[in-house]
Amino acid sequence: MTTAAHTDVTASPTAVGSGTAATDKFKNERVWADTPPERVAAIAKDALAALNQVILDHEVTYPEYRVLKQWLIDVGEGGEWPLFLDVFIEHSVEEVLAKSRKGTKGSIEGPYYIPGAPQLPSVATLPMRDEDRKVTPLVFSGQVTDLEGNGLAGAHVEIWHADDDGYYSQFAPHLPEWNLRGDIAVDDNGHYEITTIQPAPYQIPTDGPTGAFVAAQAAHPWRPAHLHLIVSAPGKSAVTTQLYFRGGEYVDDDVATATKPELILDPVAGEDGKNHVTYDFVLDPA
């Protein structure tokens, strides 16, 4: 395996463009975890033991070790740690969280969430360009409830997804700031109806070190078409999740290992030329 030492930062949109934006976004969050030294020691010891055992099992050579070192440097310099970690590692962190939840299944957040999207009413159309309007519209409706099925007034459905070319606004310079992003306030019974467009399968950037990692294994860099959501309500535990489309490409072979059977939509093509689907969200208590 070889990795590109330098990537053109002027071309757009590129892996390095989206990677840098994702890294800048992440660095602006103040991350912190209340982890005591004993737990840090236990996790660090097991993590290093696992990696060292892989090296022994596979008889990793010095040339391979040096390529690894260069690649780790490249991931950092390319700003791709958020991308790489969210694609290959976040699903296990989510799996740990999921064990303590009864409501709607969660999935990974990924690197492209931005808080503060435009506030929209319970029946709303996401911000989109004329170009996006050429894509099949998707009317996505449902209700946010508690575990007992009571509608939750005051709930919010935050939604973000890629356009038909696989680009997320604020991670591709040619897109309007809030394209295909919104924060929907449900009605008094917890209902919402969001009009957007049918998303397409998403290819993780192939021109950076994460793409090199995938290509070096002769693997594919695709995620199935998906909607990202964070659903929240006062006094409830918010759920971060994704929804997919039955029969869609890569639904059974997601590079990010982030699909679940409960998260697959079955849209119906309406006579109005739009795809229609309902999905209800169930929130655990806080």
Q: Residue 110 Cβ, how far from Fe ion at the closest point, in Å?
A: 5
**Nearest residue (CB) to Fe ion, 227 versus 283:** 227
Q: Which does 204 bind (CB under 5 to 8 A by kind): Fe ion, ligand MBD, none?
A: ligand MBD
Q: Contact between 19 and ligand MBD (CB under 6 A)?
A: no
Q: Which does 19 bind (CB under 5 to 8 A by kind): Fe ion, ligand MBD, none?
A: none
DSSP output for 124-135 = EE----TTGGGS
Closest CA to 142 of 160, 155, 161, 131: 155
**Nearest residue (CB) to Fe ion, 110 versus 211:** 110
List, in order, residues 6 or more apart from 274 with CB less than 8 Å away: 136, 137, 138, 139, 195
Residues 255-274 that bind ligand MBD (CB under 6 A): 256, 258
Q: Contact between 108 and ligand MBD (CB under 6 A)?
A: yes
**What is the distance, to the nearest Å, from the Cα of residue 232 to the centroid of all Cα atoms in its chain?**
17
Distance CA 73, CA 76 (A): 5
**Nearest residue (CB) to ligand MBD, 21 versus 233:** 21
Q: Contact between 110 and Fe ion (CB under 5 A)?
A: yes
Q: Which does 256 bind (CB under 5 to 8 A by kind): Fe ion, ligand MBD, none?
A: ligand MBD
DSSP letter for 72, please: H
Which uninterrupted H or E stretch holds 183? strand 181-185
List, in order, residues 6 or more apart from 195 with CB less than 8 Å away: 124, 125, 126, 137, 138, 139, 140, 274
How many CB atoms within 10 Å of residue 144?
A: 29
Helices 81-88, 90-98: crossing angle, 10 deg rounding: 50
Partner residues linked to 146 by β-bridges = 283
DSSP letter for 236, please: B
Q: Contact between 245 and ligand MBD (CB under 6 A)?
A: no
**Nearest residue (CB) to ligand MBD, 60 versus 85:** 85
Q: Contact between 112 and ligand MBD (CB under 6 A)?
A: yes
Distance CA 28, CA 51 (A): 30
**Nearest residue (CB) to ligand MBD, 55 versus 89:** 89
**3 state DSSP class of 195:** strand
Q: Contact between 225 and ligand MBD (CB under 6 A)?
A: no
Q: Contact between 209 and ligand MBD (CB under 6 A)?
A: no
Q: Which does 111 bind (CB under 5 to 8 A by kind): ligand MBD, Fe ion, none?
A: ligand MBD
Q: Contact between 86 and ligand MBD (CB under 6 A)?
A: yes
Amino acid at 251: V
**Nearest residue (CB) to ligand MBD, 103 versus 166:** 166
Q: Which does 167 bind (CB under 5 to 8 A by kind): Fe ion, ligand MBD, none?
A: none
Given the rule CB under 6 A, which residues bind ligand MBD?
83, 86-87, 108, 110-112, 202, 204, 223, 256, 258
Q: Which residues bind Fe ion (CB under 5 A)?
A: 110
